[in-house]
Structure 1
């Protein structure tokens, strides 16, 4: 009976971990992020991203919305250039389903021990990685990079696709600007 009560909790944790965005950021500790008030998209870098033009537009729109919400302006003479890069790979998770606690008598012999070897479950999904790079427009040097990894939405519902992209971008840009102790 305990296994039945724990099953929803286990499933919730498995599905929650599949839908989350894992974010890592890095930055130049010598950069003064308070000086970066405007941005523009770096077309040569964005053109290299290997995703559809529609998804590029969705990502750039999400980045622009997040930057404007942070008080940054899109400009023709920007302080920051924004570039993106994407990767995609198959993620394989193997879950061992050997539950072996409790008691009962299964099979031909009498004895204690509940459950048995139920085997392994293999889950496959496509995981995408989005890199958002901020480049100092004057020095042309990378000053901040955010990387977000998440399962990709592969359906045809445009709203769900945009919602997923917005989530990934907002989770990454939640880390910008970095918390710096001194500059």
Structure 2
């Protein structure tokens, strides 16, 4: 194979890896807590009392609750409120973010020079200086000790959301986010 063919294959591999970026998941927990003693859970009711929560469909909250119950139900017993070891609280936050970077029509995002061009066509020259607005979605899952009512673990999944998702696509994104967050629990 020629050098240009290998370069094209390498470029496509890097491009595909960049497109498959998943959510960023972070966790934090109370050090020294005995997570092995946890046996049962309950999921607290979501309150749609803020302006941001009212914009999210109650069906979305119901879907998240079902996925959490399914994921934790594989390891812990789901019980009635009052007899649980821990309570699950979750929140969904969607924020508009601003990407101030420029977009070069040949090489994509970046602040650096354009480098060598193979096609010296005037259609490829120039960059757009307009900032881009996008939505950042965050799923926050808090686990609270039922006796002390203090938080013991938090998992957060953040992902840049694309526009125009159907309800089925939204549920698929949320299902993956819940699974990726709860895969990191317990922290031991």
Judge same fold: TM > 0.5, yes or no.
yes
The aligned counterpart of 2:127 is 119
Normalised TM-score (structure 1): 0.76
Deviation at 1:4, TM superposition (A): 5.0
1-structure distance, mates of 2:72, 2:162: 24
1-structure distance, mates of 2:36, 2:162: 35
Superposed CA RMSD in Å reads: 3.0
Between Structure 1 and Structure 2, the one with more strand by share is 1
Query: Does residue 1:58 correspond to 2:63, yes or no?
Result: yes
The aligned counterpart of 1:142 is 151
1-structure distance, mates of 2:8, 2:149: 57
Normalised TM-score (structure 2): 0.74
The aligned counterpart of 2:104 is none
Query: Does residue 1:8 correspond to 2:25, yes or no?
Result: no
Indicate how the Cα distance of structure 1 residues 64 and 90 shifts in structure 2: closer, same or farther if over 3 A, else same: same
Deviation readout 1:12-53 (Å, 9 max, x if unpaired): 233222xx110110001121111111111122xx21571321
Deviation readout 1:34-75 (Å, 9 max, x if unpaired): 1111111122xx215713211110111111111012x21110
Query: Does residue 1:74 correspond to 2:78, yes or no?
Result: yes
For the 8 Å contact 1:99–1:117, the answer to whether it is kept is no
Indicate how the Cα distance of structure 1 residues 38 and 84 shifts in structure 2: closer, same or farther if over 3 A, else same: same
2-structure distance, mates of 1:163, 1:12: 21
Deviation at 1:120, TM superposition (A): 4.5
| SS of the residue 2:18 aligns to | helix
2-structure distance, mates of 1:78, 1:87: 27
Q: Structure 1 unaligned segments of length 5 or more: list them.
A: 108-115
Q: Structure 2 unaligned segments of length 5 or more: list them.
A: 102-108
* Correspondence for 2:92 among 70, 86, 106: 86
Instruction: Report the number of matched residues.
Output: 166
For the 8 Å contact 1:36–1:79, the answer to whether it is kept is yes
For the 8 Å contact 2:137–2:160, the answer to whether it is kept is yes
For the 8 Å contact 1:81–1:136, the answer to whether it is kept is yes
The aligned counterpart of 2:187 is 178
The worse-fitting range, judged by mean Cα deviation, of 161-170 and 86-95 is 86-95
| SS of the residue 1:99 aligns to | coil
Indicate how the Cα distance of structure 1 residues 156 and 128 shifts in structure 2: closer, same or farther if over 3 A, else same: closer
